[in-house]
Amino acid sequence: MFQTLYSYFWWERLWLPANLTWADLEDRDGRVYAKASDLYITLPLAFLFLVVRHLFETFVATPLAGLLNVKEKVRLKATPNAVLERFYAATSKHPKQADVEMLSKKSGCTVRQVERWFRRRRNQDRPSLLKKFREASWRFTFYLIAFIAGMAVIVDKPWFYDLREVWKGYPIQSVLPSQYWYYMIELSFYWSLLFSIASDVKRKDFKEQIIHHVATIILISFSWFANYVRAGTLIMALHDSSDYLLESAKMFNYAGWRNTCNNIFIVFAAVFIITRLVILPFWIMHCTMVYPLDLYPAFFGYYFFNFMMVVLQSLHIFWAYLIIRMAQKFITGKVVEDERSDREETDNSEEEEEVAKNGPLSNGHPVLNNNHRKTD
């Protein structure tokens, strides 16, 4: 049964145009072709990336955060309460009003104290500023190096300037060592992002991020199987061209360098819109959808590859919407922040009231004020 499924999966008509077989892509005369078995190395490389990331965040990103004066915001801790903690862990982090009233009776706290407790408890679970900075530093470093490496791989190739060259001789196109390592490293990195997504900072587009990582892994893998390597290198370099700008803007935002963050964000927004909403659909996708049909009839691989491109393009439109919203805030003079991030919740109104009654608070308790002026 397994052998039958294996045979169906690697049926040549799924992966290759008509009248071509896997035998046509066997290495010969010093020419090397893309093979599915090449991708086995990406899984151990992905775990190696996780190790390198940990070392980078510990020995590079953390000291850099100190140099840039990245400071943690002091968060008020929720007072230990077994009743509220059980509800928080097992039922909901955002209780409804009826639940709040019920918990007030069970815990012996007032309704406002219960509401405040949940706000502080949610804030405790939010990732620290240092964690965000370290993650952004790691991604910035990889995307910048990947973009530079990607350009070095493709800038001297004829298909970088003439997209019709992408399909010249397809699929009998040999793979260069630079293309091989570019593919393996990119795919390994996205595997590592997928493996670590549960522990990374969760944003509002968490589900979209998972879809993006899975779609990217499938697209890179499939393009390697079907020898869409030339198109694949163009697509990967195009994506890396804006990602490092976003991560650098985040780094400066976490460091409190607002003007630098805003200026980089403007550049990022322009590059993102030009590359993802103009070049990708009107040049690259046109290249993958129209030009191949001049050479061979459409087959499953052609439809599948372009379907995955449409999935990625849909995500780009979604993120472009968020970017435009952020740009509008910048233009109107508001602080630019990541629309995908959860905002820190505050309980200022209650604290101000407590201050008015009892003086300054520390973790919900009054602090003695020993700075009273002496009277004669």
Q: Helix (H, G, I), strand (E, B), or coil: what is residue 51?
A: helix
Query: Residues 196-235: pLDDT tens digits?
Result: 988 888 777 678 888 888 989 999 999 998 889 999 999 9
| Nearest Cα residue to 146 out of 174, 177, 187, 199 | 187
The per-residue pLDDT for 356 is 40
Taking residues 65-74, what's their average pLDDT?
85
Contact 183, 224 (CB under 8 A): yes
Does the pLDDT of residue 25 top 90, yes or no? no
Q: pLDDT (tens digit, 9 = 90+) per residue, 266-304? A: 899 999 999 999 999 999 999 999 999 998 889 888 999
Neighbours of 218 (CB within 10 A): 14
The mean pLDDT of 55-60, rounded to a whole number, is: 96
| Long-range CB pairs of 328-331, under 8 A, 24+ apart, other chains included | 330/262, 330/265, 330/266
Report the DSSP beta bridge partners of residue 361. Answer: 366
8 Å CB contact between 260 and 252: yes
Q: 7, 306, 16, 9: which is closest to 172 by C-alpha?
A: 16
Both tokens assigned to 65: 């955060």
* Residues linked to residue 362 through DSSP beta bridges, in sequence order: 365
Instruction: Look at residue 181 and tell me whether its pLDDT is greater than 90.
Output: yes
CA 224 to chain CA centroid, nearest Å = 22
Token digits of residue 266: 């403007």
Nearest-angstrom CA–CA distance, 157 and 153: 8
Confidence label for 374 from pLDDT (cuts 50, 70 and 90): very low
Mean pLDDT confidence for 173-183: 95
- 3-state per-residue secondary structure call for 300-343: HHHHHHHHHHHHHHHHHHHHHHHHHHHHHHHHCCCCCCCCCCCC
Domain boundaries, the chain: 29-68+129-332, 82-125
Among candidates 302, 247, 245, 312, which has minimal Cα distance to 280?
312
The neighbouring-strand residues paired with 365 are 362
Asked if residue 111 lies in contact with residue 87, where contact means CB atoms within 8 angstroms, the answer is: no
In this structure, whether the domain defined by 82-125 belongs to CATH 1.10.10.60 is answered with yes
17, 20, 26, 31: CA torsion to nearest 10: -70
In terms of Cα–Cα distance, which of 223, 224, 220, 200 is closest to 212? 220
Band of residue 370 on the pLDDT scale cut at 50, 70, 90: very low
- Look at 355 and 130; give whichever has higher pLDDT: 130
Kindly indicate the confidence band of residue 29, based on its pLDDT and cuts at 50, 70 and 90. confident
Label residue 8 exposed, middle or buried (CB < 10 Å: 0-12, 13-18, 19+).
exposed
| Residues of the chain above pLDDT 70, percent | 87
Neighbours of 47 (CB within 10 A): 13
Among the ranges given (35-44, 181-190, 307-316, 341-350), the one the predictor scored with the smallest mean pLDDT: 341-350
pLDDT at residue 94 greater than cutoff 80: yes
DSSP state of 151: H
pLDDT 10s digits, 122-170: 888 788 889 999 999 999 999 999 999 999 999 999 999 999 999 998 8
- Coil, strand or helix at 28: strand
Cβ count within 10 A of residue 130: 17
Give per-residue pLDDT as tens, 315-341: 899 999 999 888 777 767 665 455 555
Query: Which pLDDT belongs to residue 333?
Result: 64
CA distance 120 to 108: 18
- The phi and psi torsions of 343 (rounded to 5 degrees) equal -85, 150
Round to whole Å and give the CA distance between 246 and 299: 37
Count CA atoms within 13 Å of residue 333 on its CB side.
0
User: How far is the C-alpha of 181 from the C-alpha of 167, rounded, in Å?
Assistant: 21
Q: Which two three-digit tokens encode residue 343? A: 């905002």
